[in-house]
């Protein structure tokens, strides 16, 4: 039986027969390092008028005459710091990864064809407002200009020129991956019963969730979690409004944050974080308001089994009639070795539901929220340029963004939370968590719950809102919380809490007069709630340590005396987090490190994992009594510093266990902003990046210059006014008119 929902991120396994003896045409391909004259990509000197002012931290402040000028400068500045990853995202959205990086990346190219991303772009790109298309095309021009000046960094000449359509395609590829479309598609390539075989040759590995290439390795969709908190004048000490922008993302690769400030004379003046290939700020603030997102998990994907005509495999029954599957042959170009690239023919299908896959065990179609939408850049630009709550809500209401909890605050003292989602209006009487019958229009949803009916909280009497990948039904304290009874189970809205959400509710709820210092401390809280998995684990092992090992008994004693705080000096946290690490790897426990609540950990699995943790500590540190910061490390180039924090605490740090027994931080707290408007609406903002602005430039002084501050849980100023920026100026780059 095929199941729609899976516990861990699955990728797309594609069985493709690479029969080299049958290949008669070879395509030599220029791949990195590629050197040629790309001067044709350089725009006319006065086409874009923009200044890039980099402050002492290397953060680019882009000053453009128009929005398009600013987008051009943003692209060029980001390319200076991370051209390789941006290039990879464009290769992915163009369906060209396989010809540059080989067969391990080719499944993503198939995915692009399967979703018909370029059909939608060809049909709808001209419907994007002209001002937004100008921004998209200027952003692409900035990337092209950088490539022309640095041909040694170009992966393949075939990619250029990059276009505004490419940037649009990047959103269309990445956004569905955030809500697990790659996992759902991956299931269609898994046989229904254990023991069944996939196609005989060419079992391609997981690739879609990772956007794998030698440059960008980090998973886009890994659910490490995020936080957003806001406090209104009703609860702050001096009439201030506070906002915490605190997304938890991988620290490297296609989903790593980059900080920038973008300003034009057409009203664009926003600062915050963006991902490679994004032509606008994704989360952050402008002078009047700020916002942030956390991943939510509504049910946005459905899988259907089609009833195939036994006399015609390309016909399926729908509402009592046979319909034709749309069948296409697509060519994937796959690098074999060096410059040798071969064409690989594949078939993709399409039904009334959407993308369709034929397998020996059945034919399955998939439908997902926001399918075919091209307006992401328009929505983010509107968020960037909104000047009040009504404008910001209108941008959310009108835009295609199909998911994400959103938290908001502004200079008027408003705070707001919305469980943003394009929730399909589904018919009753079907199991929407399973595989659905694909032969009836009753299962073909076409409409969504209106934005104004989504779970949301505006200016609650409690004076705060929070979300940490948790249920919207416990956003704050008091009657303004959305009610679960108002929403159909088919929407799949979460009812679970995370440790971070439990701590936020407890800390904000216990403090009726919150100062800036207290708000700061809540963001960096490192405690586990008494009802969390960690507290359950600690109590279980303190009362039932593994028998026969003195080191294990000492570790259990450390846990028994632990205050549940993952502080840098804690001597129990290493035991606890290492135990969690091995529990997560165990087949006996379904443990999500970003949501350590209500996992029901078996004693035997806990004891076995504790013993493994003890063995690692004893072998590498000589004992179990080890300060957490000696184990938990931020390692970047020549920087190697200790950290506090841990999985599913407000100061979230997720590490990867190394051979020397240390955790190397790979995700969690990454780009952080703490924003304040005082009682008169005056803005103050601070930020930090886990590494620095030069996200893939090891030779830059900004490759890891923010890491020591990050480890000390300190922030740096955010400068918006040109005079302040110039007082801390490192260098300036000018394009166009002087």
Taking only the tens place, the pLDDT of each residue in 582-600 is 998 888 888 888 888 988 8
Hey, which of 67-76, 212-221, 590-599 has the most confident mean pLDDT? Answer: 67-76
Instruction: Report how many domains make up the chain.
Output: 3
**What distance in Å separates the CA atoms of residue 149 and residue 163, rounded to the nearest whole number?**
18
Are β-strands 435-437 and 301-305 bridged in parallel, bridged antiparallel, or unpaired? parallel
Question: If you average pLDDT over residues 498-517, what whole number do you get?
Answer: 97
| Per-residue pLDDT, 204 | 35
152, part of any domain? yes
Of 628, 649, 670, which residue sits at a domain end?
649
Average confidence score pLDDT of the chain: 90
| Per-residue pLDDT, 733 | 98
Do 353 and 205 share a structural domain? no
Shortest CA distance to 93 belongs to which of 377, 469, 388, 395? 377
| Per-residue pLDDT, 588 | 81
pTM of the model: 0.92
Beta bridge partners, 654, equal 667
Question: Could you give the C-alpha distances from 379 to 119, 129, 382, 397, 458, in angstroms and in order?
Answer: 21, 11, 5, 9, 21
Cβ atoms of residues 156 and 87 within 8 Å: no
Question: If you average pLDDT over residues 310-330, what whole number do you get?
Answer: 97
SS3 at position 620: helix
**What distance in Å separates the CA atoms of residue 412 and residue 314, rounded to the nearest whole number?**
59
The CB density around residue 453, as the number of other CB atoms within 10 Å, is: 11
Shortest CA distance to 291 belongs to which of 343, 241, 348, 349? 241
446, part of any domain? no
Q: Which residues constitute the domain of residue 87?
A: 20-222
Give the HSE-up count for residue 360: Cα atoms under 13 Å, Cβ half-sphere.
Answer: 10
CATH number at residue 548: 1.10.1400.10
| Per-residue pLDDT, 497 | 96
Question: If you average pLDDT over residues 275-280, what whole number do you get?
Answer: 97
Shortest CA distance to 629 belongs to which of 616, 646, 642? 642
Query: Higher model confidence: residue 297 or residue 204?
Result: 297
313, part of any domain? yes
**What distance in Å separates the CA atoms of residue 684 and residue 689, rounded to the nearest whole number?**
18
497, part of any domain? no
**What distance in Å separates the CA atoms of residue 605 and residue 607, rounded to the nearest whole number?**
6
Classify residue 265 by its DSSP letter: T
- What lies within 8 Å, CB to CB, of 660 at 6+ separation is 620
Percent of the chain whose predicted confidence (pLDDT) is above 90: 84
SS3 at position 372: coil
Do 316 and 216 share a structural domain? no
245-257: per-residue pLDDT in tens?
A: 999 999 999 999 9
State yes or no: pLDDT of 195 exceeds 60: no
| Per-residue pLDDT, 473 | 98
SS3 at position 55: strand
| Per-residue pLDDT, 221 | 36
> What does the block give as tokens for 718?
């955010």
- What lies within 8 Å, CB to CB, of 612 at 6+ separation is 578, 579, 582
Question: If you average pLDDT over residues 6-13, what whole number do you get?
Answer: 30
Do 56 and 181 share a structural domain? yes
Question: If you average pLDDT over residues 23-47, what whole number do you get?
Answer: 64
- What lies within 8 Å, CB to CB, of 267 at 6+ separation is 385
Question: If you average pLDDT over residues 293-321, what whole number do you get?
Answer: 97
State yes or no: pLDDT of 16 exceeds 80: no
State whether the Cα torsion 326-327-329-332 is positive or negative: positive
The region of weakest confidence among 154-163, 208-217, 448-457, 640-649 is: 208-217
Beta bridge partners, 676, equal 242, 684
* Residue-level length of the chain: 738
CATH number at residue 58: 1.10.439.10
Shortest CA distance to 665 belongs to which of 685, 642, 687, 695? 642
| Per-residue pLDDT, 190 | 74
| Per-residue pLDDT, 33 | 52
| Per-residue pLDDT, 224 | 64
343-371: per-residue pLDDT in tens?
A: 999 999 999 999 999 998 899 999 999 99
The interaxial angle of helices 106-115 and 67-94, nearest 10 deg, is: 110
SS3 at position 543: helix
What is the band of 35 on the pLDDT scale with cuts at 50, 70, 90? low
Of 649, 665, 698, which residue sits at a domain end?
649
| Per-residue pLDDT, 339 | 83
677, part of any domain? no
6, part of any domain? no
Query: Higher model confidence: residue 200 or residue 187?
Result: 187
What is the band of 193 on the pLDDT scale with cuts at 50, 70, 90? low
Do 165 and 36 share a structural domain? yes
Of 163, 194, 222, which residue sits at a domain end?
222
Question: If you average pLDDT over residues 692-700, what whole number do you get?
Answer: 97
CATH number at residue 318: 2.30.120.10
| Per-residue pLDDT, 308 | 98
| Per-residue pLDDT, 636 | 97
Do 175 and 73 share a structural domain? yes
Question: If you average pLDDT over residues 149-171, what whole number do you get?
Answer: 97
Do 215 and 75 share a structural domain? yes
**What distance in Å separates the CA atoms of residue 285 and residue 281, rounded to the nearest whole number?**
9
Reduced DSSP (H G I as helix, E B as strand, rest coil) percent helix, strand, coil of the chain, to 5: 30, 25, 45
Do 29 and 135 share a structural domain? yes
State yes or no: pLDDT of 524 exceeds 60: yes
Strand ranges inside 295-361, DSSP E: 301-305, 308-309, 312-318, 321-324, 326-337, 340-350, 355-359
**What distance in Å separates the CA atoms of residue 22 and residue 29, rounded to the nearest whole number?**
20
| Per-residue pLDDT, 187 | 81
State yes or no: pLDDT of 258 exceeds 70: yes
**What distance in Å separates the CA atoms of residue 218 and residue 251, rounded to the nearest whole number?**
8
Are β-strands 653-657 and 639-642 bridged in parallel, bridged antiparallel, or unpaired? unpaired
What is the band of 27 on the pLDDT scale with cuts at 50, 70, 90? very low
719, part of any domain? no
Q: What is the dihedral of CA 419, 423, 427, 432, to 10 degrees?
A: -90
Question: If you average pLDDT over residues 209-217, what whole number do you get?
Answer: 34
98, part of any domain? yes
State yes or no: pLDDT of 223 exceeds 90: no
Do 313 and 209 share a structural domain? no
Beta bridge partners, 587, equal none
What is the band of 192 on the pLDDT scale with cuts at 50, 70, 90? low
DSSP per-residue codes, 431-469: -TTSEEESS-GGG----B--GGGS-EEES-TTSEEEESS
| Per-residue pLDDT, 683 | 98
Do 337 and 197 share a structural domain? no
Do 183 and 54 share a structural domain? yes
Shortest CA distance to 444 belongs to which of 605, 302, 315, 331? 302
């Amino acid at each position: 039986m095929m199941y729609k929902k899976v516990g861990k991120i699955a990728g797309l396994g594609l069985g493709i027969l690479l029969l080299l003896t049958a290949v008669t045409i070879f395509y030599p391909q220029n791949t990195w390092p590629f050197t040629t004259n790309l001067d044709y990509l350089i725009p006319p000197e006065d086409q874009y008028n923009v200044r890039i002012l980099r402050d002492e931290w290397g953060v680019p402040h882009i000053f453009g005459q128009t929005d398009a000028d600013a987008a051009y400068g943003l692209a060029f500045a980001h390319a200076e710091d991370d051209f390789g990853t941006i290039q990879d995202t464009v290769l992915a959205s163009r369906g060209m990864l396989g010809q540059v990086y080989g067969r391990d990346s080719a499944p993503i190219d198939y995915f692009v064809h399967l979703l018909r991303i370029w059909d939608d772009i060809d049909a709808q790109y001209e419907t994007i407002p002209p001002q937004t298309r100008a921004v998209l095309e200027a952003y692409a021009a900035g990337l092209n200009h950088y490539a022309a000046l640095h041909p040694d960094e170009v992966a393949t000449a075939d990619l250029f020129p990059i276009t505004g359509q490419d940037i649009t395609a990047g959103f269309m590829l990445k956004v569905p991956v955030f809500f697990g479309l790659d996992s759902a598609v991956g299931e269609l390539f898994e046989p229904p019963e254990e023991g069944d075989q996939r196609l005989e040759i060419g079992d391609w590995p997981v690739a879609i969730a990772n956007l794998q290439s030698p440059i960008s390795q980090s998973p886009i969709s890994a659910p490490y979690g995020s936080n957003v908190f806001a406090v209104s004048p009703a609860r702050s000490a001096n009439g201030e409004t506070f906002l915490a922008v605190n997304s938890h993302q991988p620290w490297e690769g296609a989903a790593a944050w980059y900080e920038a400030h973008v300003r034009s004379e057409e009203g664009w003046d926003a600062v915050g974080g963006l991902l490679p290939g994004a032509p606008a700020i994704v989360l952050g603030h402008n002078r009047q308001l700020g916002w942030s997102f956390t991943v939510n998990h509504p049910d946005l994907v459905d899988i259907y089994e089609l009833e195939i005509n036994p006399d015609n495999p390309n016909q399926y029954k729908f509402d009592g009639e046979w319909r034709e599957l749309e069948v296409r042959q697509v060519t994937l170009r796959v690098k074999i070795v060096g410059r040798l690239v071969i064409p690989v023919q594949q078939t993709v299908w399409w039904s009334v539901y959407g993308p369709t896959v034929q397998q020996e065990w059945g034919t399955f179609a998939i439908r997902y929220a926001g399918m075919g939408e091209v307006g992401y850049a328009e929505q983010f630009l509107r968020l960037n340029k909104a000047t009040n709550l009504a404008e910001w809500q209108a941008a959310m209401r009108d835009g295609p963004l199909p998911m994400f909890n959103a938290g908001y605050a502004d200079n008027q003292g408003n705070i707001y939370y919305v469980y943003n989602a394009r929730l399909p209006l589904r018919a009753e009487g079907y199991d929407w968590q399973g595989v659905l019958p694909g032969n009836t229009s009753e299962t073909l949803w076409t409409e969504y719950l209106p934005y104004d009916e989504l779970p949301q909280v505006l200016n609650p009497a409690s004076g705060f809102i929070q979300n940490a990948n948790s249920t919207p039904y416990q956003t704050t304290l008091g009657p303004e919380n959305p009610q679960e009874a108002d929403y159909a189970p088919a929407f799949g809205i979460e009812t679970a809490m995370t440790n971070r959400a439990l701590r936020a509710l407890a800390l904000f709820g216990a403090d009726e007069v919150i100062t800036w210092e207290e708000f700061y401390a809540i963001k960096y809280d490192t405690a586990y709630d008494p009802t969390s998995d960690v507290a359950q684990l600690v109590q279980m092992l303190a009362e039932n340590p593994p028998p026969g090992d003195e080191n294990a008994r000492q570790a259990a004693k450390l846990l028994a005396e632990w205050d549940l705080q993952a502080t840098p000096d804690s001597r129990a946290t290493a035991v606890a987090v290492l135990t969690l690490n091995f529990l997560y790897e165990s087949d006996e426990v379904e443990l999500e490190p970003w949501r350590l609540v209500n996992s029901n950990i078996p004693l035997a699995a806990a004891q076995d994992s504790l013993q493994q943790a003890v063995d690692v500590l004893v072998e590498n540190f000589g004992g179990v009594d080890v300060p957490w910061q000696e184990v938990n490390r931020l390692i970047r180039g020549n920087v190697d510093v200790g950290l506090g924090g841990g999985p599913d605490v407000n100061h979230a740090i997720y590490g990867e266990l190394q051979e020397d027994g240390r955790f190397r931080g790979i995700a969690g707290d990454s780009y952080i902003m703490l924003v304040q408007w005082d009682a008169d609406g005056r803005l103050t903002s601070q930020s930090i990046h886990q590494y620095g602005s030069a996200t893939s430039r090891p030779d830059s002084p900004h490759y890891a210059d923010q890491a020591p501050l990050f480890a000390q849980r300190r922030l740096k100023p955010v400068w918006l006014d040109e005079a302040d920026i110039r007082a801390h100026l490192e260098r300036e780059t000018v394009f166009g008119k002087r």
